[in-house]
């Protein structure tokens, strides 16, 4: 019997290579857990029917003496990442039966390592949301309290790892969509520097913000997945190499924007937990420095102008003509209108409308251009701040996971992103690491702490993250 509770990618790799169990046995263990729990949690939209065949191939590779960090490791893939020959729906009726015609670059890299794909996981429709309540295929539930949201939009991938339905996973992060659910479910979520992981084969939401990121039980496992999928890709013109970033030693100084952390909307319990985390970091020799980022309070508003603008442009391709849902009307315009009205859910339509509005004549300068100016100012402020500190930390989320259906006002849901959107706006790497629990209505609900580092300094996040995790 394999103990999935204590298993990590590192320990599984050692046990697979030592023949303590086979890849088939490991995969079967996860399939059994999925069968037992997924009906309630709704983490997977589809479990692939060839999982054991994939595992047999991995066992053959191991028998030949091959060993890669992810060989035989069962992973879950968010339903916005293309795997050739498999359905990918972005949790939308618009793409309900769409079958991918090619592999995303991250999938090509994982296949080369012999990773096992268990299935595709639930998400907010087209990754638009922070709770996975916006899926066309039902809500994903938090394993710590099934009456609460898992977070989003990568809720399915996060719950798969948190509930032992996968050993690791891939999600996408446009404004916190990997980190926020990771915090709500008590695991690690990592967003790399923009461009460090290819977006080729990722269904786009906000093209200047989107990042594919690892989801794992601990920092070391997240690092292993990241190392497997990062690197420049000629199929993605925005991808970058890491050779331009000079590695320097730690200053042992951590920056905290206390004016944001102590602001309105952040729960008392979150502030107390964060202060405890600060004390832990001080015990291992870090100095805490209060930093001021003048435009930080405008980050959320900036994000909710840029992201819908890019999303409305990206989603214009789903017109019911070339692929996806099609409804017949009296003419081409009515075809478009009927197809989009039937295919897109409420939140997606809201963001398309908002994005189209801020890009329209007469409002482009008033909103979109102004948001881009704030973005440029924020980038400069972060570059300057990192001259004096190694990393910047905040809570990952301002409150614990809310009850399913509790937040009917979209603005109150958007406020959950207050700490996470900035890393996407300025393109820097960020990681959420479990930082404790809050007892709420008899349930221990997890919280996370977020570490942000300069461009290309994922190594800093892994180094400091490992130190924090060990406290």
Question: Residue 245 — very low, low, confident or very high, per pLDDT cuts 50/70/90?
Answer: low
Contacts of 299 (CB under 8 A, 6+ apart): 374, 378, 418, 421, 422, 425
Residue 25 tokens read as: 């046995």
Give yes or no for a contact between 367 and 305, defined as CB atoms under 8 angstroms apart: yes
- Whether the pLDDT of residue 290 is over 60: the answer is yes
Give yes or no for a contact between 225 and 218, defined as CB atoms under 8 angstroms apart: no
Is residue 153 flagged as an active site residue? yes
What is the mean pLDDT of the segment spanning 104-124?
Answer: 98
Say if pTM beats, i.e. exceeds, 0.95. Answer: yes
The active-site residue, picked from 135, 153, 154, 157, is 153
424-447 pLDDT, tens per residue? 999 999 999 999 999 999 999 999
pLDDT of residue 247: 66
Is residue 78 flagged as an active site residue? yes
Phi, psi values for residue 188, rounded to 5°: -100, 130
- Whether the pLDDT of residue 249 is over 90: the answer is no
The active-site residue, picked from 22, 154, 157, 177, is 177
327-358 pLDDT, tens per residue? 999 999 999 899 999 999 999 999 999 999 99
């Amino acid at each position: 019997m394999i103990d999935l509770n204590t298993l990590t990618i590192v320990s599984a790799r050692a046990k697979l290579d030592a023949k303590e169990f086979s890849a088939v046995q490991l995969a079967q263990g996860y399939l059994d857990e999925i069968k037992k729990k997924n009906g309630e949690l709704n983490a997977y939209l589809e479990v692939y029917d060839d999982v054991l065949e994939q595992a047999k191939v991995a066992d053959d590779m191991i028998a030949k003496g091959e060993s890669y960090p992810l060989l035989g490791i069962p992973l879950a893939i968010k339903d916005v990442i293309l795997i050739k020959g498999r359905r990918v729906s972005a949790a939308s009726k618009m793409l309900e039966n769409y079958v991918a015609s090619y592999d995303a670059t991250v999938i090509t890299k994982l296949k080369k390592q012999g990773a096992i794909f268990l299935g595709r996981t639930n998400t907010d429709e087209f990754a638009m949301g922070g709770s996975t309540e916006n899926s066309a295929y039902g809500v994903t539930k938090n394993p710590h309290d099934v009456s609460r949201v898992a977070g989003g939009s990568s809720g399915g991938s996060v719950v798969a790892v948190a509930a032992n339905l996968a050993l690791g996973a891939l999600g996408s992060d446009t404004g916190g969509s990997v980190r926020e659910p990771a915090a709500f479910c008590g695991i690690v979520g990592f967003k790399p520097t923009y461009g460090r992981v290819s977006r080729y084969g990722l269904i786009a939401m906000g093209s200047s913000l989107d990042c594919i990121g690892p989801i794992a039980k601990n920092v070391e496992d997240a690092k292993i997945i990241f190392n497997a999928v990062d690197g420049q890709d000629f199929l993605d013109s925005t991808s970058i190499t890491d050779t331009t970033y000079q590695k320097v030693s730690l200053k042992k100084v951590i920056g905290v924007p206390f004016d944001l952390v102590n602001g309105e909307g952040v729960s008392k319990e979150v502030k107390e937990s964060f202060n405890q985390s600060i004390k832990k970091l001080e015990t291992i020799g870090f100095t805490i420095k209060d930093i001021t980022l003048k435009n930080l309070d405008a980050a959320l508003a900036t994000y909710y102008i840029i992201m819908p603008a890019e999303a409305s442009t990206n989603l214009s391709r789903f017109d019911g003509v070339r692929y996806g849902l099609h409804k017949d009307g009296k003419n081409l315009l009515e075809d478009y209108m009927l197809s989009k009205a039937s295919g897109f859910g409420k939140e997606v339509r809201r963001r398309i409308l908002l994005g189209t509005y801020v890009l329209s004549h007469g409002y482009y300068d008033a909103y979109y251009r102004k948001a881009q100016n704030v973005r440029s100012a924020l980038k400069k402020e972060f570059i300057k701040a990192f001259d004096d500190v190694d990393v910047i930390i905040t809570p990952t989320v301002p409150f614990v996971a809310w009850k399913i259906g509790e937040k009917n006002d979209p603005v109150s849901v958007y406020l959950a992103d207050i700490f996470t959107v900035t890393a996407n706006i300025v393109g820097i790497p960020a990681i959420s690491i479990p930082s404790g629990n809050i007892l709420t209505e008899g349930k221990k609900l997890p919280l996370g702490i977020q570490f942000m580092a300069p461009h290309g300094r994922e190594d800093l996040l892994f180094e400091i993250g490992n130190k924090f995790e060990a406290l």
